[in-house]
Chain A
Amino acid sequence: MNAKILKILLKKEVSLIKRNPIIPRLIVGMPVLVMLIIPLVATLDVKNVEVVVVDNDRTELSRRMVADMDASEYLSVTGCYFSYDEAFRQVEEGEADAIVTIPKDYQKDLTNGEKPELDLKANGVNATKGTLGAQYATMSVANTVARWQAEQGVSLSAREFGTVNLYNPTLDFRNYMIPALMVVLLIIICGFLPTLNLVSEKESGTIEAMNVTPVGRLEFVLSKLIPYWAVGILVVTVGMLIGWLVYGLVPEGNIANIYLAAILFSLVMSGLGVFIANRSATILQSIFMMFAFIIVFQLMSGLFTPIASMPRWAQCITYAIPPRYFIEIMRSVYLKGATMTDLWVQYATLSVFALLFSLVAAMTYRKRA
C-alpha cells in the first residue's frame, strides 16, 4: 500500500468528479429533490376516514364520543343513524369507511363499573383505510372514555382497549419514509456513481493507461471507493437537514450512529458498484446489472413493505441483503433513539458486508486480461 500513490489517485478522482458537468449537481440535487417531494406524495397515511355512528345510547358520553371523533384530524363523522341498516347502506354506497355502534346503556354500564363493548365494523375494500380507520376510532373513543371517567371520578378499569403506537404515535408515514428515503438515495448514488465512473474509464481507454503502470490494485480500487464515503456522508447530511427543516423530524438517537452506518453502507454499495464495473465491458451492461441488484435491494430489504409480512423463505433471503441492516439502523436510531449497543448485530453485519464487498471489488479488478 503506497500512500503517496493513493493520495494522487484520490486527488485525481476528486478533480474529475468536481469537473464533471453533471455529477456534483446530482450528488446534491437528487437528495434535495427526493427529500422535498417524495415524503409529500408517497404517503400511505390515512386521513379523513369517514365514520358513521349508530348511537343507541344517546347520552352525554356518547355525544362526546362522536364530537371527539369528528374533531380528530384522522376521522370525520359523516352521519349519525338510528339503525345499523341505515348506517350500513352508507358503507355500501361508498360514503363511509367504518361504522361505530354505541350500545344502549353504554354510559350507565360504564358508571356501574361494567365493561360495555363498542361495535366497530370497517370496510375492507380499501384494507389500509378500513383497518387504520377502525384503529383511529378505537383510540379516539378510548381517550374520550378515559377523560370522562376521570371527570366522574370513576376508576379507569373500563379502559381495556386502545392501541398506542410507540415511537410514531400517529403512525405518520413520513416518519417511516424519511429514514428509508435516505437509504434509497445511498443505494442509488453510492451504487451507480462508482460503477459508471469505472466503466467510463474502460470506455475511454484511460483504465488501460492505468493498467500498464505499476499502480497497485488496492490503491486503485480504494481510490474508487473512498470518494463515495464522502458522498454518502454528504447525502445523509442533506437528507437529515431537510428532514429537520422541512418536516421537523430529528433523529431521536445519536447522529454519529447514523453517520457510521452511512459510511459502512456507502462502502457496501460502492464495493458492489466496482465489482459490477469490473465485470462489465460497457456502461449499458453495468447499468442493467446494477438495476438488477437495486430492485432486489429496494423491494426485499423492508424499505417499503415490512420484512415480517414476507413469506418465510423470503425473510431468510433478506438476511443476505445489506440494506436490510442499514434500514433497521436508520429507523431505530431515528424513531426509537436506539444506541450502538442495541444495534450491535446490525453494525457488525454491515461491517462484514462492507469488508466483503470491498475485498470482492479489489479481487475482481484485473490489470491483465
Chain B
Amino acid sequence: MAKEIVISVKDLTKKFGSFTAVDHLTLQVRRGEIFGFLGANGAGKTTAMRMLCGLSFPTSGSGTVAGYDILRQAEEIKRHIGYMSQKFSLYENLTVWENLNLFATIYGMSAKSIREKTDAAFKTLGMENMRNVPVKEIPLGWKQKLAFTAATLHSPDVVFLDEPTGGVDPSTRRKFWEMIYRASSEGMTVFVTTHYLDEAEYCNRISIMVDGRIKALDSPEGLKRQYLAGTMDEVFRIVAKDAKRGD
C-alpha cells in the first residue's frame, strides 16, 4: 500500500504585485519522507515553504498539509508541524531550557513530557551543560541543533527546515543530517530546502525549483538517470541553466 500523503498541493501560486514568486507549485510528499527542496537563491523556495506553514496566504491554488486545508485551516496545520527558519529565531536572551520550554508549552505539551523530552534531547546532543546558558552565548552549530530540537520536540507530523545548515562547518552539517535521519526514522516527514547539493543526495526525493516553478522532481538516483549525470551537481546545472532569477 502506498504510504500516506502528508503534503499535497496543487497549483499553489504566490504573487507580489506583478512578480510571481511561486508559480503553480504542484507536489505531494509522503509520510516519513525526507523531501529536498532545491533551487537557486530567489527561486521561490522560502515563499513556497511559508505558504505550506500557514505564514503566508497563497494568491491561488490549494492543498493540504498534515490533512488540513492550507487556505482555511492554517492554525490547525500549525499544531501539526515544526518550522525552522533560515534566520536563527530563538530568543537570544532566554536560556536553552527556557526557549525549549516556551515553544513546547505553546504546542500543548505537558510539563512532565517536556522534561522527559528535553532531558533526552540534551543527552543525545551532549548539551546537558548548556541547559541554563543564554542562547546568545552558544556557538552557531549548537544554535542550529537547538533550533531543530525546538521545532521537533513536540513530534510534529511534518518538520519544515529552511536552509538549516547555512553557514555551519562540514562536521556540524553531518551531525545535523544525523538528527534529520533520526527524526525521519521516528516517523516525521522532513521538508528541507538546501543549497548544498551533496545534501540533496541524503534525501529520499528532491524537487528542483527554477524561477518559481518545479523543473524536476524524483529520487536523486532517478534524476541522475534522467539527466544522464554523475552527480547531483551536474543535474542541478542542467536543470537550472535557463534560470533568470537567482545568482
Contact = CB atoms under 8 A, between A and B. Distances in A.
Contact of A20 (B57, B81, B93): B93
Given A8-B105, A213-B107, A205 B87 contact: yes
Interface stretch (A11-19, A84-92, A126-134, A263-271): A11-19
Interface of A: 4-5, 8-9, 12, 15-16, 19-20, 204-206, 208-215, 367-369
A211 B83 CA distance: 10
A368 B91 contact: no
Contacts of A8: 101-102, 105-106
B93 A16 contact: yes
B78 interface: yes
A212 B55 contact: yes
8 closest residue pairs by CB, A with B: A205-B89, A209-B89, A212-B83, A205-B87, A8-B105, A214-B78, A214-B79, A19-B93
Contact of B89 (A206, A367, A368): A206
B94 interface: yes
B91 A16 contact: yes
A205 B85 contact: yes
Interface string B63-92: 000000000001100110101010111111
Interface size range of chain B in the complex:
20 to 34
B93 A368 contact: no
Given A8-B105, A213-B106, A214-B107, A15 B93 contact: yes
B155 interface: no
B89 A204 contact: yes
Contacts, number: 72
B172 interface: no
19 contacts: A8-B101, A12-B98, A15-B94, A15-B98, A19-B93, A19-B134, A204-B92, A205-B87, A211-B55, A212-B54, A212-B81, A212-B83, A213-B78, A213-B106, A215-B106, A367-B74, A368-B54, A368-B56, A368-B74
Given A214-B79, A367-B54, A369-B57, 18 more contacts: A5-B106, A8-B101, A12-B102, A15-B94, A19-B93, A204-B89, A205-B87, A206-B91, A208-B85, A208-B89, A209-B90, A209-B103, A211-B55, A213-B106, A213-B107, A368-B54, A368-B55, A368-B57
A363 to B, nearest CB: 16
A172 B18 CA distance: 64
A205 B98 contact: no
Interface in B156-173: none
Nearest to A211: B55
A369 B55 CA distance: 6
B53 interface: yes
Nearest to B95: A15
A212 B91 contact: no
B90 A206 contact: yes
B55 A208 contact: yes
B187 to A, nearest CB: 20
B108 to A, nearest CB: 8
A21 to B, nearest CB: 10
Contacts of B89: 204-206, 208-209
- Counting chain A CB atoms within 10 Å of each CB, which of B55, B81, B102 scores highest? B102
B75 A205 contact: no
Contacts of B55: 208, 211-212, 367-369
Interface string B38-64: 000000000000000111110000000
A212 B53 contact: yes
A369 B56 contact: yes
A205 B88 contact: yes
Nearest to B105: A8
